[in-house]
Structure 1
């Protein structure tokens, strides 16, 4: 299924050519400029190869955020609470080998390695808005696989109403785990109908390369109509459950972080407004942007919440 925005797509002139993008390191080396480790692809898959994927699916008309900004302004509390901490400290994360365990209401519990997953499921590049609850946003060219197809492979039973995701929590690699700011391991969840929506993906890369550690290597969830903290990173376990599970930020502060966490400009965070947002890369003096309902994906996902009070179920 190819999803296209009702607005104008990104123009070809705005897209950096792949050949230029992947030659940038050679140019820097020729000039005697060191390439930062945080810009290099991480060893999540064999040989650090470029990912092979189908043509891009553009669902956002805005210009893509630069690779530098995407990889250096992150929330990943397992490596620290400052936006720059993940890029600084996530080099300790070892992503090969990496297995994802499938548990709960499934026909058979099983496990799959990240390399087998990449070989088994087709990848595509999807240009998505990414909206953080702190009222900043990005446009990210994710490379990932259909969560719906992955769920079909997991073979959940009819008792599975929710899908729960669990992150790695290894203090030997993740210095932030020593902080009691959150309950570890990080967990998130979706209703099954949200999870099988065509927009929901498991991302394994961005800008055509394997996912950097600071962005959730080797595999993370991307649900573009929800706030960014729903996009759980470094997934090691997936459970299919009958009842709505607890999620990390909802446990930490249920008055500020609801289970659904749909982008909704009419529901403010108790400490700031969600009506506008700052696009990373626009500059300090650029005008703030109006927040779009469901992050601009209302036409595709609003039907999932028909009849729900979106201020109560925020």
Structure 2
């Protein structure tokens, strides 16, 4: 195992066991994940492992990544990202596989039904230990209680026995802005787009889904976490989804998408002191 980097921590921060480590976008990089999980601090049986979504797709082994995370059992707390929802949409017949998708191994697997059933029961938001984890972001108009309740609306729809129709309502870019009066498919789209696709917004809070590069590369746009009027900025939000932003730690927002699938690294952050361990992508090849 070749670690890209391990940040230094004080001796007091190295107390044994019981920690939470948050892992950024895996995206089918099962080899890098396996190597990262072999690190002594992450391998402890009492260590809890959070995953910031996008467990599958674009990497070489989506099936291996799902099986590995699922096998962690109660130690793992993964959430859904946009690529995970895309896999569900392909299974539901709502979306065709894309040319750059690497999810066919999941679709063809003998345990595909079990994996898909497990995947669609994952949450879109975790709130615990003084932090919130989502895949992309939280709109500034939402309190954390509201964001959690709205995430629950989507989770409930995906967990129904007849879950396929719900996927029809999740795709599209409109509306671009939240309104408490939204109902039906419009409401579901805004919730899902904010939690799993958002990166930058206009100053008035309208989301933009075309910008994928550096945070301030487009005039008039700003990262969602810099928007004025955020309702609960005192609680740090951990997210992924933005490899161009990369590892980004500030008091109110932490990005852990360090682009393993693009040849960089897979990152784990210890929740209590923000210590970082990174595994380079060489383990995926």
Higher strand share: 1
TM over 0.5: no
TM-score norm. by structure 2 comes to 0.24
Give the number of the structure with larger relative contact order, counting CA–CA contacts within 8 Å between residues 6 or more apart: 2
Q: Which has the larger radius of gyration?
A: 1
